Amino acid sequence: MINGPPALVEMLDRNKKHVETYKAPPHLMDVAPKIRDSGNGVMILTCSDPRVNVFEIFGLDSVLRAAVIRNAGGRAADALRSVAILQHIARPGAIVVMHHTDCGGTHIEPGDVKKDLVELSPSDKTTIENTQFGKKMNSIKESVREDIALLKTSPLVDHSTQLDEFKQGEGSNFTFPLDAFWLWRFHVRSELFSYSEHSALNLSRQLVSFLLYSTLTIKPKLPYFANFGAIHINELKAVFYSIAMFDDIVAEGYSLAQHDWRLTALVASVVPFALTYIITSLLAFLAANNKSHSRSPPIAPYAVPFFGNLFAFLFDNERFVRNALGRYARDIPVQFRLANRKLTLISGTSNVLAMFRSSRYLDANEIIIIAVDNAFGGASVGRECYALDNTGSRKEPLPGSRPLKMSDRIWYLQHKTTHANLVGPPLVEIAERFVKCLGEELDHAIPPSQTDWVDVPDFYGLIQSTMFAASTNAIYGPHLIRLNPDLNKDFWEYDHHIPSLFKLVPRLFAPKAYAVRDRLVASVKKWHAHAAEHVDVKDPALEGVAWEEYYGSKMMRDRVVDYIGVANMTDDLRACLDVGLIWAANANIVPTVGWCLIDILTRPALAATARAEISTLSPGEINMQALLASPILQSIYAEELRLRNAIFIQRTPIIDTFKMGPWKFPKGDLIIVSSWQEARNRETWNQRGRDGEEHDVEEFWAERFLVYKDDPLSGPRLVDAAKVKKGGEEVEKVADGEASPPKFAPEKVAGQFIPYGGSENICPGRFYAKQEAMAGMALFLAKFEIELQLEPGRVLEPNKAQFGFGVMGPKGAIKARMRRRKVE
């Protein structure tokens, strides 16, 4: 039995047990040459502090070994002799210098040690005074660096040895980021070289630590790299470390793959995606922070080579676009790679306005061709008529476009005809007919004789069918629906399938979409044939006739005349093009009116205001001009267009050198703007009401578009209150006592509020659409009392399956009960 501290007794006890199972390791002189030759030996220089458990920290065991040199503080000056001897024996490839927090060396002054010694042995004072104890360690980082420098310069140390710094932190954590990297790096290296078990876990851990490292260290520093002139050494280091980490991941993956075929498969399938994502992320950060005067937009990072962002975009483009815009500053365009196509999303008022102003260099036909090809079915029945026309929609053909005869310039002719016939007297004709037809449709749905409540299982469905019938009769005359009694039902089924058709889902996977599209085309073709039997569109007697029953509006006759001259035009293709017009004329305005009514009816105070406004402005017959001037009705309509419209406005540069600000946009690559995102930009939209209440951009607020003279902060645009105070914002003056009627002011949000697109391609139907909205609200509210019967807790939401294709209707049927109003 040995006397001594209990710990020593315990140690000896444990040693006894150890001896029982102990197997002698290979002889030093046998192992040493192998270690020398491989260069894989590792030497760890660390503190004697028992809290630093080197074996545990690095997982050292009988397989993974390292030579450990310990002294107070783990200082190189004391260790040189041991380093030299161990180097002589095994010539290790690396020396790790590991200091730790809360080290005795950071608390104790060497002078105090000397005092202590002198007290113990006063006779040796001189020797003690002349002995070197170094100086107190200030920071561990500094002490590690000092010792590395010493080892590097010492003649006793082989200069080809890799020297690595490493700091052990509190509670065995490791300081981040530099040291975590080293920890990680050691882990990989030692495992690789000691042939320990390779596991998928290790690989995942390395990937995670790499991603963490690059996110925390590289990302904030990237602005430096973008300005190549200002590269800072630490940033450079960070990139090298990342590359080294990456290299280790590849090496680890490779080793794993050799050990297990399942892992081979796993690694082979994961690595290309991880690699692609990492590389595209780095490139995107560099591009976003580039400061040159002529630069390309960053490409949104993606993981799938070749397909790029295609699947994310097709799967949930709302989220995808939101994320893409959230990634960078608002005014930085973001490019998406959709298989072999590139498109660039631009955002922010100044970019959007710049795009509209640059219409001379931009063409909108590409999307129209895509629509005609797929959504309207043109590709199979006469593509050569329209796909070759790249002359644009202006009278002057686009520079460099094909030399087509004027009569073959289908897009210009179509553009001219719709724009000319949806303003002025032709518009008055259509709008008046619409009002009349809608009144009749509503009277047919719930006749004036019906005084009791009527249950309506699908209130929005009623709006769809009555509005569609009214508008179709107004524009195309009564025979289109008369000849095709299912047209109304077919149209809404077709509208439901529009996303599949636009997204090119093959017929095999969307048979209903194609079937209903083809039915619509056949219906329109039948109507064309019937009209042609009764009317000669070139009959001079029709000159100046705004409407006749067979073709309906003059716009439809003019289209027939336009198409007659187009080479190779077919009856099928004409029908497809008219299906397109029917879609454009209904798909947006009908859901907009639906939302106007729903949001009015679910707010009793607003319903009372709207009804009062309608009965004052338009008592009895519809007074369109008065309704069109109503600030509150216009504001409600505009708010719905802001809130429910998700359309991508698209343009293609027609010149090689097209730029907006510093950003370059290659010829032929699509540029898109998301009306949805622009309408939700909290930096530019006003969310504060006159009452001080907040009206979030995601919420309906009937008065958002109203400006009050006496409230400079009112109106749709966010105004800087401080600037108003200083007089920096333009404010309309109000005379004392002057009443302050609100003004509808959409112009305040030009470039932010773009439901109809812009420039010369702006929607030609916008004036008619507004009249439909006024008449829709007025007739429904004047004729009926309407009670929506929403299930408790139900929040009405737009049907996001239609996201990207215009105004989205409400999701799910809405039950209601309706009865005729006594005073209409």
Q: Which residues bind ligand HEM (CB under 6 A)?
A: 364, 368, 393, 415, 418, 422, 581, 584-585, 588-589, 592, 641, 645, 647, 649, 755-758, 761-765, 768-769, 807
Give the single-character DSSP code of 361: G
Distance (Å, whole) CA 572 – CA 385:
12
Nearest distance in Å: CB 566, ligand HEM: 16
Distance (Å, whole) CA 191 – CA 207:
16
- Decide whether 374 or 588 has the Cβ nearer to ligand HEM: 588
Nearest distance in Å: CB 417, ligand HEM: 9
Nearest distance in Å: CB 630, ligand HEM: 17
CB neighbours of residue 420 within 10 Å: 14
- Decide whether 566 or 647 has the Cβ nearer to ligand HEM: 647
Distance (Å, whole) CA 822 – CA 615:
13
Distance (Å, whole) CA 480 – CA 578:
12
- Decide whether 592 or 684 has the Cβ nearer to ligand HEM: 592
What angle do the packed helices 76-90 and 140-153 form, to 10 degrees? Answer: 50
Nearest distance in Å: CB 617, ligand HEM: 21
Nearest distance in Å: CB 317, ligand HEM: 16
Nearest distance in Å: CB 576, ligand HEM: 14
- Decide whether 214 or 592 has the Cβ nearer to ligand HEM: 592
- Decide whether 190 or 588 has the Cβ nearer to ligand HEM: 588
Burial class (CB in 10 A: 0-12, 13-18, 19+), 251: middle
What angle do the packed helices 571-586 and 459-476 form, to 10 degrees? Answer: 130
Nearest distance in Å: CB 174, ligand HEM: 55
Nearest distance in Å: CB 595, ligand HEM: 10
Nearest distance in Å: CB 746, ligand HEM: 13
Burial letters 782-791, b for 16+ CB under 10 A, else e: bbbebebeee
Beta strands in 331-404 (DSSP E): 334-338, 341-346, 362-363
Structural tokens at position 211? 């991603």
- Decide whether 298 or 758 has the Cβ nearer to ligand HEM: 758
Burial letters 702-737, b for 16+ CB under 10 A, else e: bbbbbbbbebbbbbbbbbeeeeeeeeeeeeeeeeee
Nearest distance in Å: CB 451, ligand HEM: 34
- Decide whether 218 or 641 has the Cβ nearer to ligand HEM: 641
Distance (Å, whole) CA 479 – CA 531:
8
Nearest distance in Å: CB 279, ligand HEM: 35
Nearest distance in Å: CB 208, ligand HEM: 44
What is the widest separation between alpha-carbon atoms in the chain?
133
Residues 451, 820 contacting (CB under 8 angstroms): yes
Helix locations, 727-765, DSSP H:
none
Nearest distance in Å: CB 664, ligand HEM: 22
- Decide whether 136 or 360 has the Cβ nearer to ligand HEM: 360
- Decide whether 303 or 585 has the Cβ nearer to ligand HEM: 585
Nearest distance in Å: CB 762, ligand HEM: 5
Q: What is the DSSP string of 647-699?
A: EEEEEEE-STT-EETTEE--TT-EEEEEHHHHTT-TTTB--B-TTS-B--TTS
Number of residues that make up the chain? 824
C-alpha closest to that of 163 among 252, 82, 76: 76
Backbone angles phi, psi at 10, to 5 degrees: -60, -40
Pairing of strands 162-168, 94-100: parallel
- Decide whether 222 or 581 has the Cβ nearer to ligand HEM: 581
Among all chains, which residue has been given the structure tokens 């470390």? 241
- Decide whether 90 or 641 has the Cβ nearer to ligand HEM: 641
Burial letters 8-28, b for 16+ CB under 10 A, else e: eeeeeeeeeeeeeeeeeeeee
Nearest distance in Å: CB 790, ligand HEM: 24
Distance (Å, whole) CA 140 – CA 263:
40
Distance (Å, whole) CA 668 – CA 201:
46
Based on C-alpha coordinates, what's the Rg of the chain?
Answer: 38
CB neighbours of residue 145 within 10 Å: 14
Helix locations, 295-359, DSSP H:
310-315, 317-327, 349-357
